[in-house]
Structure 1
């Protein structure tokens, strides 16, 4: 979501967006932990192979998405702060 779209949202919608982003952060952390666990389990049992690299690729995609969500969270927080200072 681009910053200009954030200005179109109401305060309540921004708070809901922040809550959803916090929930997504927890889900991303669990998924990254699971992919790391699957990778370690695969290495211990079968050694290195394609089954080891697939969870690493999925974990990388989740981490990249998580970083984008963190930037969006910061933008929403800044927008809320600017709205509170205007009031």
Structure 2
């Protein structure tokens, strides 16, 4: 989602996006753990081959996605805080 579109969303839509991002954090962490487990198992079972390190490429992609989600989460929090401060005035 583009950051400019956040100001057009309602409060409930922003809260829903935050919930989705938080659940994605858990899923990302589980996937990273799973892929690292595959790497360790493959290294112990078969030694170090190309297919041992292939899951690490997936881990890098997951980490990049989580970094983008972190930036989006910070922007949503900033937008929600600015709305609360405007409501108080």
Matched, 1:59 2:55: no
Instruction: Classify the secondary structure of the residue corresponding to 1:7.
Output: helix
**In structure 1, distance between residues paired with 2:58 and 2:3:** 28
Q: State the Cα RMSD in Å.
A: 0.6
Tell me the residue number matched to 1:10: 10
| Alpha-carbon distance in 2 for matches of 1:10, 1:77 | 13
Hey, what's the Cα distance between the residues in 1 that align with 2:50 and 2:3?
40
Partners of 1:36 and 1:72 in 2: CA distance: 26
**SS at 1:48's partner residue?**
coil
> Per-residue deviation at 1:62?
0.3
Give the corresponding residue for 1:21: 21
Q: Distance in 1 between matches of 2:24 and 2:48?
A: 31
Alpha-carbon distance between aligned partners in 2 of 1:77 and 1:2, rounded to the nearest angstrom:
15
Tell me, in whole angstroms, the C-alpha distance in 1 between the residues paired with 2:73 and 2:33. 22
Gaps of 5+ in 2: none
1:30 aligned partner: 30
Pairing 1:83–2:83 present: yes
- Mapped partners of 2:77, 2:69: distance in 1: 12
Stretches (4+) displaced over 6 A: none
Q: TM-score normalised to the size of structure 1?
A: 0.97
